Structure 1
Amino acid sequence: MGALAAGTLTVGALVLSGAPGLGVGHAQAQQTAVANADPEFNQLFHQSMRRPADVELAFRLARRAIEVGDYEAAIGVYERILFYNPNLVRVKLELGRLYYRLGAYESARSYFEPIAEAPALTTAERDNIAAYMVEISRRLDPNQITVYAQVGVRYQSNANYGPSSRLVLGQDLTALLPPGSTAQADGNAFALATVRHVYDFGNQRGDVWESNANLYYSQQFQLQNLNLGYAEFNTGPRFALLPDQMPGSSIRAYVLGGGIALGGDAYVGTYGAGLSLYAPFSMYFAVEPFAEVRQREYQNSRDYPTASLQSGDMWTLGANLSGRLTDASGWRARVAYNNASGDLPWYSYDNVSIDVAVPIEFQGLWGIRRWVAIPSAGYSRYSYDEPNPFINSWITQEDNQYRVGLALDVPIHEQWGLLTQVQYSWSQSTLPNYGFDNFSVSVGPNVRF
C-alpha cells in the first residue's frame, strides 16, 4: 500500500486575517506592497493623498485595491471616505463585505446591522445583507464546522503501479511477467471530503476542542480490485500555549481511528494517538511538529490473501510547515519519518518523506476572486528490514519515489470552483518488481463552506 498512499499533498487556501479600525495610516503601509506590483494603484493612491476629499477618486482607488486582491488597503480607503461622509450606505455595505472576506466577522456585522433595512439599498442588496448576517452568526457560534469537498474523474497511465519492466525477480530467479501483470492504464470517478469541527470553550485564551474527518472513495472503470475507500477521524483538545507572547501558538493531543477498503473488501483498520505543537513565528514561517503512534490491523481478502502479514504498529515523527513568500504567494511543506513493523521482517520498513507546495494567487480570466496555481514536489524513501525470500534472498528492498505536480484552483462562486490536478510520479527500486512510473490527471468541482 506504500505506492497507493504516496504522493498526495493537500494544500488549502491561504487565509487572511483582519482587524477593525484600519484607516489612512494602514492604507499607507499597505500601499508600498501593492504599488510594487501595480503601477495603476500607485498612481491612484498618490492622487488620492493629494485630494483626500475627492470621493470618486477614492472609489476608483478602492475598486483597484480589490481587483489586485488587497482587501485591507480597500478597507482603509473606504473608511477614509466615511470620515468625510459618514452617511454613505453603499460604502458601509462594501466595508461589511470586505471585513467578512478577511474573517473579521464582528467588524463585518458592525457595518451590516445599521444598514440592513436602509431604503437606499435595493431589495437584492438587503437580501444579500440578511444572508451575510446568517452566515456571520453561524461562524461566530462556539460550534464551528468547515467542509471541503470535491468530486471528479481521474486518469492514470499506471493505475495498478505495475513494474516498468516485465523482467522481475521471484524465488531468486528472473521471471517474465505476462502482459496483464505490468502497468495498466485506467480511470476512476472519485469523491473526497474533509470536515472540521471546532468547539470554542469561550475562555478568551483560544482553547478549543478540535475534530477532523477525512473521507475518500474512488471507483475504477476497469480494475475493480483497486476500488479504494478511506476514512479517518481524529479528535482532541487544542490549548493555547503562549497566547500573549506568541498569539496563535497551541498544543494539541488527539486520538484517531480509521480504515481502508480495497477492492470492495476491508483492507486495514487503524487506531492510535498523537501530539502536535503549533508555533507561528511570523507570517513568513509557522511550524507544527507532531508525534503519532498507531496500530494497523490488515485483513486478508480474495484479492489480497496475505495482507494480514503487514499488521503491526507505526511510529511517526514529522512537522507541517507554512508561510508566505509574497503578498500573492505562500509555501507549505510536510516532512515525516515513519517506522512500521509487520508480522514478517520483509514487511517492516522505515520511511522518510517530504512534500512541498507553493500556492500562487493571480488574477484569472473572470471575477474578482483570484485563481490559485499550486506547483508541488515530493520524495519518499522506503527501506525494508530484510530481504523477502519469496522474491530474492540477498537483495533488501529499498524504494526511492519521486513526484511532481501542478494544481489549478479556479473559483467560480464564493464557495465553489473547479480544481484540476496533474501529477507525474516514479519509483526507483533495488528490486525491478517495484520500479514504476505513473502519470495522472484529475478534474472536478469543489466546494468549501
Structure 2
Amino acid sequence: MRLWTRHAPIAALLAFLLGATCHGYVHAQPAQGVDIVALKKEQEVLFQRILKNPADLDASFRHAEVSTALGDFEAAIGSLERMLFFNPDLPRVRLELGVLYFRLGSYELSKAYFESAITAPDTPAEVRAKVAAYLAEINKRLNPSQLTFFAQTGARYQTNANAGPDGSLVRVFGFDATLDRQFVRQPDWNWFAQGVAHHVLDLGNQRGDAWETTIGAYLSRHDRFTRLDTNLVDVQTGPRLALLPESAPGWSVRPYVGATAVHLGGEYYLSARTAGASIAWVPSPGWSFEVGYERSRRDYHNTDDYPTAQEQTGMVDTGYFLAGGPLLLGWNWFARGTISHNDARVQWQSYKQRTLDLYLTYTLVLPMLGPERAITIAPFAGILDADYDGPDPLIDPNIARRDLERRIGIGIDLQLTKNIGFSARFQQSEIESTLPNYEMENRSVYFGPTVRF
C-alpha cells in the first residue's frame, strides 16, 4: 500500500473531488460555505510561489486544493499535472486528475488517467470500485448506442421445489385435514437458462436524454415437477429525460411501458401489460437513487395443471424505490423496496404486499491469475409481507391469509476472462403464515457459466 499512503493530504483533496461530483458533472462552481475572496488571494500567493520553485510539490498540492474549492478546475489540473512531472509515481494524483477531467467533459483524458491510477497491484479495492464506476459512465457518454448483455445457464437444486407445506396438517373448509405426503415439500433439480439485454440510445440532443430498452428471458426444465417448467419473456422500454440538466444535473424522469408473457408446464399461463414512471438521481458515478410507480394488468389463463389460475386476473399497483452506492473498504450496497396492491377477481387472491431487499457486493481483483480475473462476493437478505383481502372458503372461511417471508443468501461470481465467468448462489427462505397450507421452508442453490459483454 506504499504508493497509496505516501501523500496523506492528497486523500483529503480526493475526498473533496469525489464529493463535489454530487453537485453535478460539468459546472465548476465554488464550494458552498467557503471564503471566496480569501481563497483567491491564497491561490495567487501559491501561484507566485510555484513560479519561483516549480518543484515545490506542497505548494502545487495546496494550489490544486484551493483551485478545486473555487471551482477553477483548469488551474487545479495544471498543479496536479506539474506534480506528476516531478514525481510520476503518484496514483492518487492520477485519480484526482481523472475526476477533474471527467467534470470538465474531457472523457478521453479522464479515462486515461483513471486507467493509469489502478495499474499498481496494491491499488485498494475501494479505489478500483470508484474507477470502475467512472469508466462505465465514461463509456456510456462516449458511445451513443450501448448494448450490454448477461446470460447464464446451469443447474438448480431446491429442497422445496413444489412450494409444498412443511407438514401434512393443513386446513380444508375450515377443518384440519391430513395432506397426502406427495403434496408436502419435495426436492427437485432443474436446468435453467436466463439472459438480460439492456440497450441505451443517446438521443443526441445535448441534454443527456436517452431511450432505454431492457429484454429479459428465463427458461427452466425440471426433473420431477414438469408442471413448473417455465418459459418467460419480459420487455420494458421508454425514454430517460433529463429534468434540469443545467441547474440540477443527474436528475432524470423515465416513463416506460412493458409486457410479460409466461408459459408454465407447457401451457400459456400469464400475460401482463405495464405502464409506469420513475424519477432518478445519479449524484456521481457509482451512486443512484430512484423512486417510481407502475400499474400492471395481469391476465391469467386456466391450464390443466392450474385450473383456477384465472382467479388471479386483475390490476396490480406498485410503488418502489431503488438505491445504491459505495461503502467502505471496497464494499458496495444496493437496496430495493416495494409496496403493491393486487386487485384480483376474488378477494382471497387479492393482497397488499411490502418487500425490502438489501445486497452487498465486494469485488477482489486477482492479478496473479490474469488482468481480467476477479471474484465478487454478494451477501443479501430480504423480507416480504403479504396481507390477503379475504379468506379462501375452500381453505378456511374464517381466516384470511397473511404471509411473512424471510430470505438470506450469498452469491459468488468468478470472472475468468473479460466476457466469461462462473456464478453460484445459495439462498435459504422460510414463510410464516396464518394458514399451515402456506408455511414452508426452502433451500436452493444454482450454479453455472456466465457470459457478459
TM-score with structure 2 setting the length: 0.70
- Going from structure 1 to structure 2, the CA distance change for 1:216 and 1:30 (only over 3 Å counts) comes to farther
Shift of the alpha carbon at 1:448? Answer: 1.5
Q: Which moved more, 1:221-230 or 1:395-404?
A: 221-230
What is the identity, as a one-letter code, of the residue corresponding to 2:425? Q
List alignment gaps of at least 5 residues for structure 2.
Answer: 1-5, 16-54, 56-80, 89-94, 114-137
Shift of the alpha carbon at 1:205? Answer: 1.4
- Going from structure 1 to structure 2, the CA distance change for 1:284 and 1:443 (only over 3 Å counts) comes to closer
The C-alpha deviation readout for 1:111-162, integer Å capped at 9, x for no partner, is 9xxxxxxxxxxxxxxxxxxxxxxxx999944221111111111110100111
Does structure 2 conserve the Cα–Cα contact (< 8 Å) formed by 1:328 and 1:360? yes
Partner of 1:7: none
The C-alpha deviation readout for 1:295-351, integer Å capped at 9, x for no partner, is 000000010011011100000001011111125111001000110011111110000
Partner of 2:387: 383
What is the identity, as a one-letter code, of the residue corresponding to 1:435? E
- Going from structure 1 to structure 2, the CA distance change for 1:241 and 1:185 (only over 3 Å counts) comes to same
What is the identity, as a one-letter code, of the residue corresponding to 1:300? N
Residue of structure 1 aligned with 2:424, choices 410, 420, 423 = 420
Give the whole-Å Cα distance in 2 for the aligned partners of 1:223 and 1:27.
62
> Does residue 356 in structure 1 map to residue 352 in structure 2?
no
Partner of 2:397: 393
What is the identity, as a one-letter code, of the residue corresponding to 1:287? F
Give the whole-Å Cα distance in 2 for the aligned partners of 1:392 and 1:307.
19
Residue of structure 1 aligned with 2:148, choices 143, 146, 149 = 146
Residue of structure 2 aligned with 1:447, choices 437, 447, 451 = 451
What is the identity, as a one-letter code, of the residue corresponding to 2:333? W
The 3-state SS of whatever aligns with 1:358 is strand
Partner of 2:370: 367
| Equivalent residues in 2 for 1:246-395, closer than 5 Å | 246-281=248-283, 286-364=288-366, 366-368=369-371, 369-395=373-399
Residue of structure 1 aligned with 2:408, choices 404, 408, 424 = 404
The C-alpha deviation readout for 1:219-250, integer Å capped at 9, x for no partner, is 11111001112211111111012323443321
Give the whole-Å Cα distance in 1 for the aligned partners of 2:249 and 2:140.
24
Shift of the alpha carbon at 1:279? Answer: 1.2
| Equivalent residues in 2 for 1:77-92, closer than 5 Å | 83=85
Does structure 2 conserve the Cα–Cα contact (< 8 Å) formed by 1:246 and 1:281? no
Shift of the alpha carbon at 1:421? Answer: 0.4
The 3-state SS of whatever aligns with 1:359 is strand
What is the identity, as a one-letter code, of the residue corresponding to 2:296? R
Does structure 2 conserve the Cα–Cα contact (< 8 Å) formed by 1:149 and 1:193? yes
What is the identity, as a one-letter code, of the residue corresponding to 1:355? D
The 3-state SS of whatever aligns with 1:255 is strand
What is the identity, as a one-letter code, of the residue corresponding to 1:426? E
Shift of the alpha carbon at 1:180? Answer: 0.8
| Equivalent residues in 2 for 1:4-403, closer than 5 Å | 28-29=10-11, 83=85, 106-107=108-109, 140-281=142-283, 286-364=288-366, 366-368=369-371, 369-403=373-407
- Going from structure 1 to structure 2, the CA distance change for 1:243 and 1:25 (only over 3 Å counts) comes to farther
The 3-state SS of whatever aligns with 2:205 is coil
What is the identity, as a one-letter code, of the residue corresponding to 2:370? G
State the identity as a percent. 37
Shift of the alpha carbon at 1:108? Answer: 8.3
Shift of the alpha carbon at 1:416? Answer: 2.0
- Going from structure 1 to structure 2, the CA distance change for 1:412 and 1:110 (only over 3 Å counts) comes to closer
Give the whole-Å Cα distance in 1 for the aligned partners of 2:8 and 2:229.
53
Shift of the alpha carbon at 1:370? Answer: 3.3
- Going from structure 1 to structure 2, the CA distance change for 1:227 and 1:371 (only over 3 Å counts) comes to same
Does structure 2 conserve the Cα–Cα contact (< 8 Å) formed by 1:230 and 1:261? yes
Give the whole-Å Cα distance in 2 for the aligned partners of 1:409 and 1:310.
36
What is the identity, as a one-letter code, of the residue corresponding to 2:414? V
- Going from structure 1 to structure 2, the CA distance change for 1:147 and 1:283 (only over 3 Å counts) comes to closer
- Going from structure 1 to structure 2, the CA distance change for 1:188 and 1:258 (only over 3 Å counts) comes to same
Does structure 2 conserve the Cα–Cα contact (< 8 Å) formed by 1:283 and 1:324? no
- Going from structure 1 to structure 2, the CA distance change for 1:332 and 1:175 (only over 3 Å counts) comes to same
The C-alpha deviation readout for 1:52-107, integer Å capped at 9, x for no partner, is 9xxxxxxxxxxxxxxxxxxxxxxxxxx88984799xxxxxxxx9xx99xx9x9734
Does structure 1 conserve the Cα–Cα contact (< 8 Å) formed by 2:374 and 2:416? no
Residue of structure 2 aligned with 1:438, choices 432, 439, 442 = 442
What is the identity, as a one-letter code, of the residue corresponding to 2:183? S
Partner of 2:126: none
Does structure 2 conserve the Cα–Cα contact (< 8 Å) formed by 1:246 and 1:280? no
Shift of the alpha carbon at 1:174? Answer: 1.2
Give the whole-Å Cα distance in 2 for the aligned partners of 1:247 and 1:414.
32
TM-score with structure 1 setting the length: 0.71
Aligned length in residues:
352
- Going from structure 1 to structure 2, the CA distance change for 1:203 and 1:441 (only over 3 Å counts) comes to same
Give the whole-Å Cα distance in 1 for the aligned partners of 2:222 and 2:107.
43
Does structure 1 conserve the Cα–Cα contact (< 8 Å) formed by 2:419 and 2:452? yes
Shift of the alpha carbon at 1:367? Answer: 3.4
The 3-state SS of whatever aligns with 1:191 is strand
